[in-house]
Structure 1
């Protein structure tokens, strides 16, 4: 599996995990689950989404380092400054 395919698989796994956790939050709210359970699951969703976001930005940054000419980042239309802004949006 190529590094890009591995990174994509990892990101998709994180997003699917977040989706499952969000489903658990929705179910807990619908069924009157405890505040503690809802907040715990919501924190897990937030963490999973943050990690997926960081992985996406890190992959784009790695591609820029590996391909300094920027053809990989250019395909997404991302400049180094835009990557920095994306990273800071997650911070």
Structure 2
């Protein structure tokens, strides 16, 4: 689970991401230079990815670790399958 401090930090980061996304929309409306828009998109994507990484880290340290420590093979396998699926969604898999 995320600590209150971690939640606060992630909430602040998400607010910045929301601001970046709003800036992208505004830049598009104003016909800003394409490279500037793409740079803003990359910044927002990177920040959002870091939020996801922090949540995955927290999940591994709490939920997954707990399932492994429980000794329950079904719970362990369920959590490992969840991790594999989320890594695939985040593009962390190897093909």
1:45 aligned onto 2:51: no
Larger radius of gyration: 2
Give the conservation status (yes or no) of the 8 Å contact 1:11–1:56: no
- Count of aligned pairs between the two proteins: 83
TM, length-normalised to structure 1: 0.75
Q: Corresponding residue for 2:86?
A: 86
Structure 1, unpaired ranges of 5+: none
Distance 1:20 1:30 in 2: 15
How large is the Cα RMSD of the aligned pairs? 2.3
Q: Corresponding residue for 1:59?
A: 58
Structure 2, unpaired ranges of 5+: none
Deviating beyond 6 angstroms after TM superposition, the runs of 4 or more aligned structure 1 residues are: none
